[in-house]
Amino acid sequence: MIQFTLYSRSYCHLCDDMLQALQAYNAEQAFTVKVVDVDADDALVALYDELVPVLIGKKGDGEEQQICHYFLDHAKLKDFLS
């Protein structure tokens, strides 16, 4: 099972764009996406404040991997999914 976490903000149009672009890949390969508002946690703000949106991927029991930030990197996403 592939799981993505999208670190986001409620007022961030780049975040909305990345989520929409990511969901287009769900037809090719099933995965889940958890959207997390970084502003709800000071530790997340410290990690991701200026990088939002940040896409993290995890396959099964594997390690989490940062795939991209700001814009969906299609090449990196396809590499992660393969």
Give how far Cα 42 sits from Cα of 37, 45, 79, Å: 11, 5, 31
The domain ranges of the chain are 2-81
Superfamily of domain 2-81: Glutaredoxin (3.40.30.10)
pLDDT classification of 45: cutoffs 50, 70, 90: very high
**pTM, whole model, 2 decimals?**
0.94
pLDDT classification of 29: cutoffs 50, 70, 90: confident
What mean pLDDT comes out for the span 31-55?
Answer: 96
Residue 27: pLDDT above 90? no
Residue 82: pLDDT above 90? no
pLDDT classification of 17: cutoffs 50, 70, 90: very high
